[in-house]
Amino acid sequence: RPDIYTNIYIKGIPDSWDEAKVNEEFGAFGSITSMALRQDPKGRMFAFINFEEPEQAKQCVETMHLKEVRTPEEIEKAKEDGKEDEVGPDGHSEGKLYVQRAQSKAER
C-alpha cells in the first residue's frame, strides 16, 4: 500500500550538508534504520532514508517537504537576482528540500 511506507527519497540537499547533518535533520523524526547519501552525475546531493516506523516517515515528509534550506544570505541574493522562486529543470523549487515516499522502479 502506497500510504504505508518507511523509505523516503530526498533531493535538493545543500552541498554543505554531510551525512552527520542529514542524520541530525531527519533523525529528529525517529529511528533511522538505513541511509544512503549520494551525488548524481551533476554533483547534486540526494538521499534515501529508511525509518523504523511508517508514522515517522510520514511525519518527516509532511514536515520537511519544501523546507527552505538556503541561508538568509542566499535567499537575499536570489531575491536580488530575481531568482527567489526559481524552479530547476526537474520542476522542483531551487533551495528547498524535496522529500517524498521512495517509489519502486515499477512506479517511476
Q: What is the pLDDT of residue 83?
A: 80
Q: What is the pLDDT of residue 56?
A: 97
Q: How far apart are CA 49 and CA 24, in angstroms?
A: 12
3-class SS letters over the chain: CCCCCCEEEEEEECCCCCHHHHHHHHHCCCCEEEEEEEECCCCCEEEEEEECCHHHHHHHHHHHCCCECCCHHHHHHHHHCCCCCCECCCCCECCECEEEECCCCCCC
Note the pLDDT tens digit of each residue in 20-66: 999 999 999 999 999 999 999 988 999 999 999 999 999 999 999 99
Note the pLDDT tens digit of each residue in 65-82: 999 998 888 888 888 888
Q: What is the pLDDT of residue 18?
A: 93
Query: Per-residue confidence at 99, pLDDT binned at 50, 70, 90?
Result: very high
Residue 3 has pLDDT above 90, yes or no: no
Single-letter amino acid, residue 98: Y
